[in-house]
Structure 1
């Protein structure tokens, strides 16, 4: 997980730097750079949730609905399973 989040953070930073360079903007102020460095891991974590974690959880739930055995369950699975029961 940490490796993918770091990879996504690097990707986001490179895209932001590329856009900044392409548009020929002036150098960002230090407070904006600090804000970007603080927000970059958060955005990378959200990207990891969307791309990697959510599809895995969805396929695990689909397999459980079809009657297949799951190898690993988490507390969030039990909460959502309980919410789906009548």
Structure 2
């Protein structure tokens, strides 16, 4: 339910599934088990990278109306219109 709410809010990628979260947890367990120097730091790094990968991509902002007019005017000049 939390995953669906985050997806509906646009915070998390729409295609993310509960299985992906399970893989994150399993992968993190592997990082902790194999890191000998600083397992906690390695775990934080791994989880940070995974959470970034799960984020929804921001939508590009619409160009301001003035920018569109400038681009359109430049196109018209270039094409002799």
Greater relative contact order: 1 or 2 (C-alpha under 8 angstroms, separation 6 or more)? 1
TM range (shorter): 0.3 to 0.5
- TM-score w.r.t. the length of structure 2 is 0.35
Structure having the higher helix fraction is: 1
